[in-house]
Amino acid sequence: MDPTMKTIKKIGLAVALIPLLGAMSAHANIFEVNNASTQGGEFFEDVFFGGAFGQSEADDYCGTSSSCTEDDTSWKIYGGYKINDMIDAEVAYNSIGDLNREGEAGRETAEIDALSISAVGKYEINDSVEALGKIGATRWTSNNSDGDEDGFSINYGFGAKVRLNETMKLRAEWESISDVETAGGRKTDVTTMSLGIELETL
């Protein structure tokens, strides 16, 4: 498939998820009813979810290649659970984007996706701003021009959240995934910077 069409399909999927997230937030009062009568409702009080767009970059991917693209648009969706005031558990799917370079055997391409689970540490700076740091494990997949590769790596990152209202936060984040294998057996650390919206249930 043409790389441009792949990007359009990815962005289209992410955009299609935005109304769903909004609808879930708008009906979060359903959980309030459950909270009054069931133990299951108490669980949902601590659930959050969100989505973000950003920019990805593969460190040292280009090397000496004179024709190379080592960054792309990225997006992610995620959900998590507040274990306590200091730690969250979080699961995320990240579409990192497409890379390409002129290699020894011709044009090399890689399309990278990742599924991660992380522990997220939190520190409340004030009533509106919260700093975060995360570390976890990632299952990545790289669809390469010379064959697909997948594996497990460490992921880590840091960022901040700014509360917009009772159920919504603006979230900015920098993240890294180590040793992702691309075409030609090359390994690269992939980093992303993103900005998105996080929604909480009531």
Mean pLDDT of 115-120: 97
Mean pLDDT of 94-115: 88
Residue 141 has pLDDT above 90, yes or no: yes
Helix (H, G, I), strand (E, B) or coil at 144: strand
The Cα angle at residue 194 between residues 192 and 199, in degrees rounded to 5: 135
- DSSP code of residue 67: S
Mean pLDDT of 37-64: 80
Mean pLDDT of 112-124: 96
* Structure tokens belonging to residue 109: 């391409």
What are the residue ranges spanned by the domains of the chain? 47-53+73-97+108-200
Mean pLDDT of 23-49: 56
Residues in the chain: 202
Mean pLDDT of 10-14: 49
Out of 2.40.160.20, 3.40.605.10, 3.40.50.720, 3.30.559.10, the CATH code matching 47-53+73-97+108-200 is 2.40.160.20
Please give the Cα distance from 202 to 194 (Å, whole number): 25
Kindly report, residue by residue over 146-163, the tens digit of the pLDDT.
Answer: 889 999 999 999 999 999
Single-letter code of the amino acid located at 51 = G
Residue 22 has pLDDT above 80, yes or no: no
Nearest partner of 75 among 140, 160, 11, judged by Cα: 11
Residue 6 has pLDDT above 90, yes or no: no
Per the listing, tokens 């935005």 go with 18
